[in-house]
Amino acid sequence: MHLYIHVPFCARRCSYCDFAIAVRREVPSLAFAAAIQREWEQWQEHPAWAESGTLDTVYVGGGTPSRLEAHGIARLIERIRADRQLARGAEVTLEANPDDVDRTTAEAWVRAGINRVSLGSQSFQPAVLAWMHRTHDAEQIGRAVGVLRAAGLVDISLDLIYGLPEAVQRNWNEDLDRAFGLLPTHLSLYGLTIEPHTALGKWTARGESISTPDDRAADEYLLAHERLTGAGYQHYEVSNGSLPGRRARHNSAYWTRAPFIGLGPSAHSALLGGRSWNVREWEEYRRRTEEGRPLTEARETLTPAQVRLEELYLGLRTSDGLPVGRLPEGVVAQWRRQGWAEADPGRVRLTPEGWLRLDALVASVSDY
């Protein structure tokens, strides 16, 4: 079993962000912790616990979880441990912004049981960070990494976004240099997407911003793959690379369709063949927890065909790939000729060129 906690609070909304967040000058840490605990109580009698009463991973994401007061995070972890056993060596991740990291806070996170931090760096270039509406500057990223390591947190992931509009004049190779120079154990590389209700979506609709051509974004992605493997990292999933033994275990659980519970506004859960997700907005979520009303926005049960399609998509997005028998022999041969896949006697795996075409490739075999 795996647990995700969604913390919606942010100091400001990034230009590209379409997540369920709540912009707050003052974060209601105690109210949030109380609401999460009330939802957590409702999950304790769920029949899925019969298969496993142990949590293998906990992931506190957002939003900006690092804006919660450290004692609020500790309170949540303590309550979870009181109700459910954490597996030996369980991965407990916190997402953080560089400007929220200081020695006192980092040490408090360690005491609370956090043993992995995902740092939302996105870029090391001032103009790019300003365009993204990020709240940190480039130098704070390196300082944050140093503070985290001094506190005993050695498992550190950095996020970078590629495929920015050419007008931003972002030097992708320079950002990769700066990221690798910090020696993170993990790197997440996300292609910029334009969502209509974001600031970036509105800029684009007005013609103030022009989307990056697909070939330029592809070149940046392939360069990142080359740099990752050249530096000794394993590019183990479409958007993720790690040093050996440092894969993100929580996210890997999603890709293998392991059961997980999501707490907080907009959080999703997947258990016993079904999915559900909570109401999106923080205030509505808070009110419902206080009034004892249901938190679920909707739920669905996957059909066998949907499960098969999801298994195809999730398997092909990882370096583990799929058993060769899951795909038509002719399709695998065609993908290999195009340089989109590699196959050994037992499995078929997409190459980085194939990962760039993942959605189209999966669609082409969706009826198989």
315-360 tens-digit pLDDT: 999 999 999 989 998 999 999 999 999 988 899 999 999 999 999 9
Cβ neighbours of residue 87 closer than 8 Å, sequence gap 6 or more: 54, 55, 56
d(CA 35, CA 29): 10
Domain boundaries, the chain: 2-255, 304-364
Whether the Cβ atoms of residue 263 and residue 42 lie closer than 8 Å to each other: no
| Structure confidence at residue 71 (pLDDT) | 87
Q: Which residues pair with 276 in a beta bridge?
A: 269, 299
* Rg over CA atoms, the chain: 21
pLDDT tens track for 65-116: 999 998 889 999 999 999 999 999 999 999 999 999 999 999 999 999 999 9
Q: What is the mean pLDDT of residues 155-168?
A: 96
Q: What is the mean pLDDT of residues 172-199?
A: 96
Question: Over the range 317-332, which residues count as b (16 or more CB within 10 Å of their CB) and which as e?
Answer: bbbebbeeebbeeeeb
Question: Is 80 exceeded by the pLDDT of residue 284?
Answer: yes
d(CA 132, CA 14): 6
pLDDT tens track for 2-52: 999 999 999 999 999 988 899 998 999 999 999 999 999 999 989 988 777
Task: Could you please state the CATH topology (level 3) that the domain comprising 2-255 is classified under.
Answer: TIM Barrel (3.20.20)
pTM: 0.95
d(CA 331, CA 162): 30
Of the candidates 292, 298, 261, the residue with the CA atom closest to the CA atom of residue 277: 298
